[in-house]
Structure 1
């Protein structure tokens, strides 16, 4: 397993920093509105990405628009960044559609609720694209709970053996619903990946710049070596597994408080403000955009 400190990564350009923050703020606003709509009965279920915005936005911006993405079910920040409209994003959770967007046009496939099923889909898609001489870079998003499924091991082995151009991005929030990570595995996922012959790195996920830099290097490795790579990102889960999960039952108040204190959105906004990269006018502009998106969702679904 390769471990790197923040100082080992190249500086992220200022324009990219502002883009990281803007996408994180938009994702947070849409997520908050979706949670409210679920409480009002407009949505059947919602799985929040709050606390994981830095991991999602940083990784999605790093790989760019060309790779095809196979998400799990809470990659809302990635979906929005890829061009999925907020109303399209929540449509499936309201029971209006099986997906909500055009997967091929956006190169962002439908959410997968069957744990780890998308890992084999992604690897197979990459191999199929390569056989046709097409763009074969694929990004597969998974959570730590999904890595305990057999499909994940099969996907990593197949990707390694076939040298598939797949970036596995694991957002390890420490919980598989109510099962803590230390009761799921004895080694990190990054260590397991290397056992299959896949290069890997394990990084903290509170700073989007760290994620961006690590995933940029991973993408370069995949494009140069035509081989898979895995990035394990340690994140905090602010809310329960879903809106139907009373996480206060199995999580201690201190654990929940620590997750909220590690909020990557507020921390990064404060950081860029202190650096003078964004000011009140810039933040107000993004806030106005977010309010407009939330109002559209409310009118459509409330």
Structure 2
């Protein structure tokens, strides 16, 4: 078996992000958290019809999106707000769909970011089919598809993994396993990990913690290199925490213990990574103030548009 350094040399990827990338990771995580908070406030005021929070999953989303770069087409589920913002979707464009103003507020072809999918796991078949179709036309066929642990229990996911393996589709499956399919705990959904299940279909896979964006970045960089080099699918299962409920109308206290919720919030990846980079001297107060000002400006625009 190749060592990590040998694999990195052969496929050409960075095992660790440099300092500029670390700052970029944190910046996108902070922006996503700020926009998510604004959306939750607007939904409670009736300005947005629904908002599935991504809080606790920012490290997984930003780490994976930065690792694969801007070229692959991204097929999201319905909670990939940090990926959407990183890909160039504006907060206004993102909110327009959750306010019921449009089916998709952005140009999915220009940004290479598909519309959100509310029906669980259907996007996995779309992603594999799109990748195969692109390849048949001689175009870039690398596709990244995001799913949650609950979606992996759907038959569409099994069909998509089998088809991707058989057709050697260039698809990266990114599973954000937050431990809950709405109110159903993961241990009652499956007897093995999502990563192990993928290997049963003949797909290389890895399971990593989603508390550190650098760990996610490294794992997804390797996965992307594998897909580009081997022309074969790959699955990365990222274990994340769900800080907020399934949606803004979800009372997670009814099915999660207070200790479980408290532990998840105490392990918040955004605050942890901010403290880490601050301790390393990579960011300072002025840097944080600049990011806060950007988020605050976006929040004021959104409040004015949706509340008046």
Partner of residue 69 from structure 2, selected from 53, 64, 83: 64
Q: Where do 1:178-257 residues align within 5 Å?
A: 178-257=183-262
CA distance, structure 2, for counterparts of residue 107 and residue 277 of structure 1: 31
Alignment of 1:1-302 (within 5 A): 10-302=15-307
Task: Identify unmatched segments of 5+ residues in structure 2.
Answer: 9-13
CA distance in 2, matches of 1:88, 1:263: 27
After TM superposition, the score normalised by the length of structure 2 is 0.95
Which residues of structure 1 form unaligned runs of 5+?
none
Deviations 1:149-187 (A, max 9, x none): 000000000000000000000000000000000000000
SS at match of 1:283: helix
Counterpart-to-counterpart distance in 1, 2:254 and 2:68: 38
The number of equivalent residue pairs is 296
Taking structure 1 as the reference length, the TM-score comes to 0.97
Offset, 1:56:
0.1
Which whole-Å CA distance do the structure 2 matches of 1:127 and 1:24 have between them?
32
Query: 1:250, 1:269 → 2: CA distance?
Result: 30
The root-mean-square deviation of aligned C-alpha atoms, in Å, is 1.1
Task: Say if 2:131 and 2:170, in contact at 8 Å, map to a contact too.
Answer: yes
Contact 2:47 2:99 in 1 (8 A): yes
Extract structure 1 runs of 4+ deviating beyond 4 A: none
